[in-house]
Structure 1
Amino acid sequence: MRQLVQHLHDNDLAGYARAAVPPAQYAELEAAWAQGHSRWPLDQLPLHDKLPALLATLSAADAETRLQRAFKAQIAGQAAGVRQAAHSLGLFGEQYISRQGDYSDDERAHYVQLVKALSAWAQAAPLSDPKLARSAITTLTTAARATGLDSDAALQAAGMGGSLQRLSPFAAASKLVLASYGLSLDESVAQMRTGLSSQDGDHAVVHVQYPLAGHDIDLQVALQRRQGHWYLARTLAEVDAVLAAARAAAPPPVEGEAPRSGSGSGSGNDATTGTSTGDSLAAAAKP
């Protein structure tokens, strides 16, 4: 997990994607992206299907003017209303996660902690401050335009690796904006602590703790070993499903053409890829 965490800290989205899955699966994911059958790892983000529209809105020529106008009309000077909205959304989020959604028990417990921490942060953050809003809008619109990714077609044309490389500066800009409002994600990543809870053959559970907005977040993460490397079990399951759907949607191979590689469960991983190598799970679980 240390490698994945470091990539997130460094805003290296392409590096994170390469380390998150076995090499053969990564290559197949690149092909599925190019064919329009996958947007992994972006589809792991909340509201991932809204990302192209968000980037298009932020990239528009008059984005600063329109966003400033919307802020002044809806948020500026409404500190009490913003606090109440954050409180209400937090309660709704907790109730929804506790009772709805396709989550495991560990995921449900983790997400409830996240919602509580973020709701408390939003209630205390200066979200209605005009000066901070002006700076945030400038930072985000500038970073969004630099990506050149204002549509799904642009994402497909750039390819998986190219899109992730272009999005990395935007991710960094987003973290800077959040930090200006008192939410430092880099601090959360830097202070993350991990330890091995249990291992049974190629399956293990790691205990993870990290601070977020003054709250201590505690969770259990399942890992799975493939080709001598440890990966997040949920990521592997999601990628397996993405690739199965992509293979089903792909046209049949031309007669005489070699078949595409499978899900990457064979041998041949580079020693630098994956969460860790060999049996060094305890080392991978260290902060």
Structure 2
Amino acid sequence: MRFRSLRHILLPLLAVLALAACHHDEAAQAGGSSPEAAVQGSIDLLKAGDFGGLWKHALPPADYATLRADWSRHAAEQPPVSAADKAKFDEAVQKLTAPDAETKLYAELQPKLGQMEQQYKDQLPVMISVGAALLKNGVAQNQNLDSAQKTQANQLLDVLVPWAQQAPWFDQARAKQAVGVVVATARKLDLKSPEQLRSMDFDAAMAKYATGYAGLKRLLAIYGLSVDEALDSVKLSTLPSKDGRAVVKIDYTLLGKPLSAESTLVQQGGRWYNESLIRNVHEAHERLQQPAATGSTALTALPASAASAAPKN
């Protein structure tokens, strides 16, 4: 559940991306002294992979406290892990964290790469196009996204799909590097059981997310997509605003293509916070208050989003 929720966080976060410039004083506080400062603080925290700090910065203190308090309530609403799923989890963890995991896994993968290239090289672009069409349909049907967010998500897909179609997925040298990154990340995650994954408190979960995010960035870089280069390209500008509500425009370059997104901020107590995150926290908290008989489940839309950091609206 939590990783499905994180998907709603990370899509806007990665679409927004981030600046490399440092504004640690702003990022260390809840909210920003201005709309741009609020977005910039979130950007810095996303770049650092500090997801716990990100929510603390992007949410008013009361809403951040609600998020933390609600986090540990989710496990009780989840069905128990089946024996089959637990066995699969244990097998995967054992393979990825064994002392000689890199050597063994690459030895298994290497002969398959050539076979896969012969079998799928011509089909892969078509398969990716089909997958992209399904993703776009999912975006269109997603009731949690407004029209601007849907447009931004589709523009992002239009840049990522050609990259995915042309990336050297069957290159053996890159595959060997990728195996090393996956193994190193799995060891650092140090997950002992699926129950541990579900029962982690907020701080522990955010630390695991940071580890996974760092591994994902390294993995993407191997195949030609540098998240950090995109982060370094971001430029912010505030659109006309009034009545304690402002929109910050975020322009950035991804894979050489110019893109843009917007983040809506609201002012509370003299500080600026992300509007969509506040709304999602309130909605998620309300769902947790519903009686079990209504069929309410655990949080399905954590404040987006890593990522998700200048989460966009």
* TM-score, structure 2 normalization: 0.66
Q: Is the 8 A contact 1:110 1:218 kept in 2?
A: yes
Match of 2:94 in 1: 61
8 Å Cα contact 2:267-2:273 kept in structure 1: yes
The match for 1:119 among 161, 165, 174 is 161
Name the structure 2 match of 1:30: 68
Aligned 8 A contact 2:66 2:281 in 1: no
Structure 1 position 100 matched with structure 2 position 141: yes
Question: Structure 2 CA distance, aligned partners of 1:15 and 1:121?
Answer: 31
Question: Residue deviations 1:198-219, cap 9 Å, x none?
Answer: 2121211111111112221122
- State the AA in 1 paired with 2:49: N
1:167 Cα deviation (Å)? 2.9
Shift of 1:59: 5.1
CA 1:249–1:3: 2 relative to 1, 3 Å: farther
CA RMSD of aligned residues (A): 3.2
Query: 1:18 Cα deviation (Å)?
Result: 1.5
Which ranges of structure 1 fall in alignment gaps of 5 or more residues?
A: 40-51, 251-274, 276-283
Partner of residue 280, structure 1: none
Q: Is the 8 A contact 1:34 1:160 kept in 2?
A: yes
How has the CA–CA distance of structure 1 residues 26 and 249 changed in structure 2, closer, same or farther, with 3 Å as cutoff?
farther
State the SS of the aligned residue for 1:225: strand
User: The residue matched to 1:231 in structure 2 has which SS?
Assistant: strand
Structure 1 contact 175–184 (Cα < 8 Å) conserved: yes
Task: Provide closer, same or farther for how the CA distance between residues 115 and 67 of structure 1 changes in structure 2, counting only shifts above 3 A.
Answer: farther
Judged with a 3 Å threshold, the aligned counterparts in structure 2 of structure 1 residues 37 and 194 are, in CA distance, closer, same or farther, namely farther
Q: Which residue of 1 aligns with 2:29?
A: none
Matched, 1:212 2:254: yes
Partner-residue secondary structure (3-state), 1:200: coil
Unaligned runs of 5+ in 2: 1-38, 78-84, 293-308
- Percent of paired sites with the same residue: 23
C-alpha contact 2:265 2:275 (8 A) present in aligned 1? yes
Alpha-carbon distance in 1 for matches of 2:91, 2:172: 18
Q: Match for 2:196 among 128, 151, 154?
A: 154
Question: Cα deviation per residue 1:38-78 (whole Å; 9 max; x = unaligned)?
Answer: 99xxxxxxxxxxxx99x948952124557875782774443
Is the Cα–Cα contact under 8 Å of residues 140 and 170 in structure 1 kept in the other structure? Answer: no
Q: Which amino acid aligns with 2:95?
A: D
Q: TM-score, normalising length from structure 1?
A: 0.71
* CA pair 68-154 structure 1, distance change in 2 beyond 3 A: farther
CA distance in 1, matches of 2:128, 2:106: 20
Could you report, residue by residue, the CA deviation over 1:93-140 in whole angstroms, capped at 9, with x for unpaired residues?
A: 33553x432231101110110111110110121112232123212212
Higher relative contact order (CA 8 A, sep 6+): 2
Question: For each residue in 1:175-225, what CA deviation from the matched residue of structure 2 results, as whole angstroms up to 9, or x when unmatched?
Answer: 011011111111112211111112121211111111112221122322222
Does the C-alpha gap of structure 1 residues 203 and 38 become closer, same or farther in structure 2, counting only changes over 3 Å? farther
Q: 1: distance between equivalents of 2:218 and 2:234?
A: 19
Post-superposition offset of 1:150: 5.7
Match of 1:5 in 2: 43
Structure 1 stretch displaced more, 184-193 or 62-71: 62-71
SS of equivalent residue, structure 1 residue 199: coil
CA distance, structure 2, for counterparts of residue 190 and residue 34 of structure 1 = 35
